[in-house]
A and B are shown apart, each in its own frame.
Chain A
Amino acid sequence: MARTPDLLPGTLDLLILRTLQTEPLHGWAVSERIQQISEDVLQINQGSLYPALHRLEHQGCIEAEWKVSELGRRAKYYHLTPAGRRQLAAETREWERMAHAIGRVMKFV
């Protein structure tokens, strides 16, 4: 497994919420999606994905449902709740603010 840069603290939750914005996904698909979209730059430690999912579920940001998967066996699909959408919006704004700020610092210092 290629060594990947550590994610910024708190960004894992943001990435999970973002991937779930369009459609319900199961855990493996979430990690796969993040990896694909980031062109393999971001590789989530698969072991720590599930605790994060369960935490978000407890916080009420996402909900789970058992559905039949592409493999033909049952899988746990997560989808965003209204609270999750609000949380995602808030975290996205915060992230953009940060990225903007860091970008400015990198440009001018």
Chain B
Amino acid sequence: MSLNDLKLRIRALFRRKRVEEELDDELAFHIERETRKLVDQGVAPDEARRLAQARFGPTALAADECRDARGTALVDNTVRDIQYAWRTFRKAPLAAITIVATVAIGLGVVAVLFTVLNTLLFRKDQVPAVDELYAIQRTATDDREVAPLTRAALESVRADAQVFTRAYAAIPNVDLHVDGRTVAVTLVSGSFFDVVGVRPAMGRALDATDDAPGGGHAAAVLSDKGWTRRFDRDPNVLGRTIMVNGTPFEIVGLTPAGFRGLEVTAPDLWAPISQLGAFRPIDRGHEDTAAVEIIGRLRPGLATGSAEAQLSAWDANRLDALRAADAADRRATRVELQPRRGTVPDPWEAIALFTPLFVAFGLILLIGCANVANLLLARGVARQREVGIRLSLGASRRRIVRQLLTESVLLALAAAAGGYVISRAALEGAVSWMLSTMPLDLGDVNLGVPAADWRVALFLVLAAIAATAFFALLPALRATAIDPVRTLRGEFVRDARPGRTRNVLIALQAFASALLLISAAIFLRSALASAQYDPGMRTADTVLINLNNESKRAQMVSAVAADDVVAWHAAVRPQLLAPLRVAIANSGTITAPVTFKSVSGSYFDVLGIPIVRGRTFTPAERDEQPVAIVSETVARTLWPDGDGVGQTLRLEPDEGLRRPGGLLTVNPSAAADDAMTRVRAVTVVGVARDVPGFRVTDVKDAGVFLPTSADAAHTAIVARVKGDPTIARQTLVDHLSRIDPNTGLVITMRTVARLETFFLEIAFSISVLLGGLALVLTVSGLFSVLSYLVEQRTREIGVRMALGASARAVAQAMLGQTLRPVLVGLAAGALLSAALATLVLATPAGAMISKIVRVTDPVAYTGSLGLIVAACLLATWIPAARAAKVDPMRTLRQD
């Protein structure tokens, strides 16, 4: 661009009026001059003027091309397009509002999902040079458990591996129950704040003296969230204390808002690892062998690949030195570096989880856009006359398409803004709904409304533009593909009813509705079936009480026993929701792996598990007594011929440590002490009915029960309560908190049972909401499209009826035309969901899922398809009936 060009462009931009006048003058002069020439040649003045204009061609077109040459055309035209669009909206506000609202709903639901995904994947923690931070991840290549990293490994990696410049150790998710509320704690080594490089907003950070092995301080640093949740943002919080299982911890510091300690959601507080015993009494004295994560700053310039190789060598050497593992175990271990940025460690897992959700939510957007496209298509037909006039006045097709596009972009931007508002409202609503329906005894679950940031805004605008491309370009191209002259005369020539595009859109909508509603029906049916599920243990009036503070055990147990709301109680170890350990049972002739737990004699009565043969434990039978009760299945396996009672059973340690599973692993190390460490010979005194257990939470009952009592360390209590279990639970929490504010998790078994259906209910709520939305959009779209169609074709219908078609035949023709694409879409939707179901069943996880979610439920399929067909019939019936009422004489007399 030359200087001259720039000068002219600037002049054109800022003195537009003057430049425009000059342009008009210049062109007018030309025509006047040409007229004069013709007059001089003897042509009559009027004729001369007409001829001159004809020779010149459309003045507007020439002026437009001159503006193009000027280079400010883009700005000029856009301004004029926007003005024009504004006038169009003012003329037909209802259509504009419908379009904006429809697309806003679609964008809103997709934005909800993106906001969540954003916090999981993209929202890095506010830490200097956060991309340098990696955690050491050791995975087994087979099914065996990997010996965990310990604090000793931290010292070793600092001394021997030249991978990290600085590193720290952390034990995340150490939950504390204070007054029945959950406090999320992450224990860290003294170097933590130094490594992340975050200065406290108030007070001091934790340091090496706090974390001195065998000593240290009972000090804690609050996160902004913990400060808000526990201390109501008290400005004098420093020096206040928080009770941790009988030990007062002093608040020494507060981190700035926005710092999350490299986790997706920040813990409420950080405390030194040296204080592990206070948080997890069971690990007291084991601070050096407790499993930790090791996180460090990668040495600058070191590639992760070579760092991983170095760490593998380091790990092998370390294990050799520890003589902790045999060669086979080492071979099975792989060392990897996992980025730690305050986002989920495995983004692909999150993406895999979110993809089906995005598809489901995106379908709503798609349906909305299809509706709008259909509406615009119909309007495009109505606006053909307007477009025709503009074309014949000399506007280029490109200009008109651009003008229609500008209109759509404006609508899309308005929809993006609406989508933002909807997504915020939906997120707030969803979180408060989840919190209010989530059973209280899960502790107050740490759900915050994810914040929207610039990424969400960008996403909304991009999605809006993508949506525009889909729903606006199409009708724009359609509307201009006309012949101006014939359109002016009122003849809609080329494909005035763009039938094929419309049918594809309708089929698409039916398809999406089918997909969503079939899912909703499947979830509903599964939730109903799950509500009937019998876990084999009493859940209506039982409460599980975990006791954490061993020093107060006797006091707590007698408090539970003496409480008015407790009818009966029993001891169980590990606590009911923890994964079970495996031992090898040997009956003399048969060996089999069995799960085992220790219970007191009243356990079976409290949970309503019948003893089918023999007897339960007597109160005198406690730990170390050589007696056992087995489940029916174990009895049948070990003694296929006899009934098992009176037989002797040898329990041996399981050599291959199997990885424990389970969703609600409340205290992962609790089971460690219970591992079968030596051979025990026991006599079977009874056989208990099999307990199927809970499927979602993966709580199963043991195959072999050994005796224990509530006095024994690390046992939890199950209690049969009187009256409403939720009230009874609260009473128990209140009473126990008086002895020690840090009770363990106290949860009603009804809640555990409810978790069974809770996830299905959430899935159902989401899919039925989306499905309903999809159906409403589809039906309203069908209705408006068909109404337009009938209006457009009144003349044709009139002719047909004049030629002898019956009203019935006309209505049928109209119905058939729209119902055909609906049926095609439904068939495609049903086929795809069946295919997806088959695919799900084929995966390893599918077997588990299919037990709970009935993916191929025929009732769900037929029910939802029937609903859609009925709704669509209803939507098309009214316009079709109107078509049948067309009076042929009246329509033929028109025009």
Asked if A pairs with B, the answer is yes
Q: A76 CA to B2 CA in the complex, in Å? A: 22
Supply 23 A–B pairs (Cβ within 8 Å), ascending by A.
A27-B30, A45-B57, A46-B57, A47-B61, A50-B26, A50-B30, A50-B66, A51-B66, A52-B69, A58-B4, A58-B5, A58-B9, A58-B69, A59-B4, A66-B22, A71-B32, A71-B36, A73-B29, A75-B26, A75-B29, A76-B22, A76-B26, A76-B29
* B41 vs chain A, min Cβ distance (A): 13
* A90 vs chain B, min Cβ distance (A): 16
Check if A48 sits within 8 Å of B4, measured CB to CB.
no
* A76 vs chain B, min Cβ distance (A): 5
Q: A66 CA to B57 CA in the complex, in Å? A: 24
Check if A28 sits within 8 Å of B71, measured CB to CB.
no
* B124 vs chain A, min Cβ distance (A): 48
- Chain B residues closer than 8 Å to A54, beta-carbon distance: 66, 69-70
Q: A50 CA to B58 CA in the complex, in Å? A: 13
* A10 vs chain B, min Cβ distance (A): 15
Give the residue among A28, A45, A57 with the most B Cβ atoms within 10 A. Answer: A28
Check if B8 sits within 8 Å of A57, measured CB to CB.
yes
The 6 closest A-B pairs by CB, nearest first: A47-B57, A51-B65, A54-B69, A60-B4, A28-B33, A55-B69
Check if A26 sits within 8 Å of B29, measured CB to CB.
yes
Q: A1 CA to B54 CA in the complex, in Å? A: 9
Give residues of chain A (43-94) contacting chain B, Cβ–Cβ below 8 Å.
45-48, 50-52, 54-55, 57-60, 66, 69, 71, 73-76
Check if A60 sits within 8 Å of B5, measured CB to CB.
yes
Q: Closest residue to B22 on the A side, CB-wise?
A: A76
Give the residue among A27, A54, A60 with the most B Cβ atoms within 10 A. Answer: A54
B62 at the interface (CB under 8 A from A): yes
- Chain B residues closer than 8 Å to A66, beta-carbon distance: 22
Q: A73 CA to B28 CA in the complex, in Å? A: 11
Q: A74 CA to B56 CA in the complex, in Å? A: 20
* B241 vs chain A, min Cβ distance (A): 77
Kindly list 7 other residue pairs between chains A and B, CB separation below 8 angstroms, not including A29-B33, A48-B62, A71-B32: A27-B29, A28-B34, A45-B57, A51-B66, A58-B8, A58-B9, A59-B2
Q: A46 CA to B55 CA in the complex, in Å? A: 7
B559 at the interface (CB under 8 A from A): no
- Chain B interface mostly helix, strand, loop or mixed? helix
B27 at the interface (CB under 8 A from A): yes
Check if B62 sits within 8 Å of A51, measured CB to CB.
yes
- Chain B residues closer than 8 Å to A58, beta-carbon distance: 4-5, 8-9, 69-71
Check if A51 sits within 8 Å of B36, measured CB to CB.
no
Chain A, interface residues (CB within 8 Å), range: 20 to 34
B491 at the interface (CB under 8 A from A): no
Check if B2 sits within 8 Å of A51, measured CB to CB.
no
Q: Closest residue to B65 on the A side, CB-wise?
A: A51
Q: Closest residue to B30 on the A side, CB-wise?
A: A28
Give residues of chain A (5-46) contacting chain B, Cβ–Cβ below 8 Å.
26-29, 32, 45-46
Residue in A28, A32, A52 whose CB lies within 8 Å of B29? A28
* B754 vs chain A, min Cβ distance (A): 74
Check if A27 sits within 8 Å of B69, measured CB to CB.
no
Check if B4 sits within 8 Å of A51, measured CB to CB.
no
- Chain B residues closer than 8 Å to A59, beta-carbon distance: 2, 4-5
Give the residue among A26, A29, A58, A76 with the most B Cβ atoms within 10 A. Answer: A58
- Chain B residues closer than 8 Å to A45, beta-carbon distance: 57
Given A28-B34, A71-B33, A76-B22, also A50-B62 (CB < 8 A): yes
Q: A39 CA to B71 CA in the complex, in Å? A: 35
Give the residue among A46, A60, A69, A74 with the most B Cβ atoms within 10 A. Answer: A46
Q: Closest residue to A52 on the B side, CB-wise?
A: B69
* A59 vs chain B, min Cβ distance (A): 7
Check if B8 sits within 8 Å of A51, measured CB to CB.
no
Q: A71 CA to B68 CA in the complex, in Å? A: 29
Q: A45 CA to B70 CA in the complex, in Å? A: 20
Q: A51 CA to B858 CA in the complex, in Å? A: 69
Q: A104 CA to B699 CA in the complex, in Å? A: 96
Q: A50 CA to B36 CA in the complex, in Å? A: 19
* B1 vs chain A, min Cβ distance (A): 9
B25 at the interface (CB under 8 A from A): yes
* A62 vs chain B, min Cβ distance (A): 10
Check if B69 sits within 8 Å of A51, measured CB to CB.
yes
* B430 vs chain A, min Cβ distance (A): 57
Q: Closest residue to B64 on the A side, CB-wise?
A: A51
Give the residue among B30, B65, B66 with the most A Cβ atoms within 10 A. Answer: B30
- Chain B residues closer than 8 Å to A52, beta-carbon distance: 69
- Chain A residues closer than 8 Å to B4, beta-carbon distance: 58-60
Q: A50 CA to B71 CA in the complex, in Å? A: 15
- Chain B residues closer than 8 Å to A26, beta-carbon distance: 26, 29-30, 33
Q: Closest residue to B34 on the A side, CB-wise?
A: A28
- Chain A residues closer than 8 Å to B69, beta-carbon distance: 51-52, 54-55, 58
Q: A54 CA to B5 CA in the complex, in Å? A: 11
- Chain A residues closer than 8 Å to B5, beta-carbon distance: 58-60
* B393 vs chain A, min Cβ distance (A): 14
Residue in A1, A46, A48, A55 whose CB lies within 8 Å of B30? A46
Q: A26 CA to B61 CA in the complex, in Å? A: 20
* A13 vs chain B, min Cβ distance (A): 12
Check if B29 sits within 8 Å of A48, measured CB to CB.
no
Check if B32 sits within 8 Å of A27, measured CB to CB.
no
Give residues of chain B (498-553) contacting chain A, Cβ–Cβ below 8 Å.
none
- Chain B residues closer than 8 Å to A60, beta-carbon distance: 2, 4-5
Q: A52 CA to B68 CA in the complex, in Å? A: 11
- Chain A residues closer than 8 Å to B58, beta-carbon distance: 47
- Chain B residues closer than 8 Å to A32, beta-carbon distance: 37
Q: A70 CA to B4 CA in the complex, in Å? A: 29
B31-44 interface mask toward A, CB cutoff 8 Å, 1 = contact, 0 = none? 01110110000000
- Chain B residues closer than 8 Å to A57, beta-carbon distance: 8
Check if B62 sits within 8 Å of A74, measured CB to CB.
no
Q: Closest residue to B54 on the A side, CB-wise?
A: A1
* A93 vs chain B, min Cβ distance (A): 22
Given A27-B26, A58-B5, A76-B22, also A51-B68 (CB < 8 A): yes
Residue in B2, B27, B37 whose CB lies within 8 Å of A50? B27
* A27 vs chain B, min Cβ distance (A): 5
* B349 vs chain A, min Cβ distance (A): 57
Residue in B2, B55, B61 whose CB lies within 8 Å of A1? B55
Q: A66 CA to B22 CA in the complex, in Å? A: 9
Q: A100 CA to B661 CA in the complex, in Å? A: 89
Q: A32 CA to B297 CA in the complex, in Å? A: 79
Q: A55 CA to B8 CA in the complex, in Å? A: 11
Check if B29 sits within 8 Å of A69, measured CB to CB.
yes
Residue in A1, A27, A46, A48 whose CB lies within 8 Å of B65? A48
B60-86 interface mask toward A, CB cutoff 8 Å, 1 = contact, 0 = none? 011001101111000000000000000
* B765 vs chain A, min Cβ distance (A): 61
- Chain A residues closer than 8 Å to B55, beta-carbon distance: 1, 46
B1-18 interface mask toward A, CB cutoff 8 Å, 1 = contact, 0 = none? 010110011000000000
Q: A5 CA to B480 CA in the complex, in Å? A: 30
* B429 vs chain A, min Cβ distance (A): 56
* A32 vs chain B, min Cβ distance (A): 8
Q: A66 CA to B21 CA in the complex, in Å? A: 13
Q: Closest residue to B9 on the A side, CB-wise?
A: A58
Q: A28 CA to B29 CA in the complex, in Å? A: 8
- Chain A residues closer than 8 Å to B65, beta-carbon distance: 47-48, 50-51
Check if A74 sits within 8 Å of B34, measured CB to CB.
no
- Chain A residues closer than 8 Å to B70, beta-carbon distance: 54, 58
Q: A51 CA to B70 CA in the complex, in Å? A: 9
* A63 vs chain B, min Cβ distance (A): 8
* B634 vs chain A, min Cβ distance (A): 92
Given A54-B69, A60-B4, also A76-B57 (CB < 8 A): no
Q: Closest residue to A30 on the B side, CB-wise?
A: B30
Q: A51 CA to B27 CA in the complex, in Å? A: 11
- Chain B residues closer than 8 Å to A71, beta-carbon distance: 29, 32-33, 36
- Chain A residues closer than 8 Å to B9, beta-carbon distance: 58
- Chain A residues closer than 8 Å to B29, beta-carbon distance: 26-28, 69, 71, 73-76
- Chain A residues closer than 8 Å to B68, beta-carbon distance: 51
